[in-house]
Amino acid sequence: MPEKNENSRNAQNGKAKNFLEAVLNSPASSQAVHETLILFVIAGALRPKRDIHRFVKWPKVVRIQWRRRVLKQRLKVPPAVNRFRKEFGQEPR
């Protein structure tokens, strides 16, 4: 079964590449069409670059510093205010 999926996937990729090459190499294609096909393939526009700094494996020292800062901030919140940070609608037991 995996071979069938790979073959169909390769066939689809081959069709897409052949179509793209045919359009780009045709004499009727202008420079504007050439650029738009390259730049706007996915959903008609370029996606914005994502901020991936949170997904990087940070050094242990940096992770400890973040956790320490969060814990200290949580300790500074008085109990009278802290009860409003929880989800509304749950009755205390």
pTM greater than 0.85 (yes/no): no
Q: Tell me 70's DSSP state.
A: H
**CA quadruple 65, 68, 74, 78: dihedral positive or negative?**
negative
Confidence of residue 59 (pLDDT cuts 50, 70, 90): very high
Provide the token pair at 13: 């990729």
Angle at 20 between CA 42 and CA 39, to 5 degrees: 35
pLDDT at position 77:
82
The phi, psi pair for 87, rounded to 5°, reads -65, 135
pLDDT at position 68:
94
Does residue 65 carry a pLDDT above 90? Answer: yes
pLDDT at position 78:
84
Domain map (residue ranges) of the chain: 2-82
pLDDT at position 51:
85
Residues whose CB is less than 8 angstroms from the CB of residue 37 and which lie 6 or more positions away in sequence, other chains included:
20, 23, 24
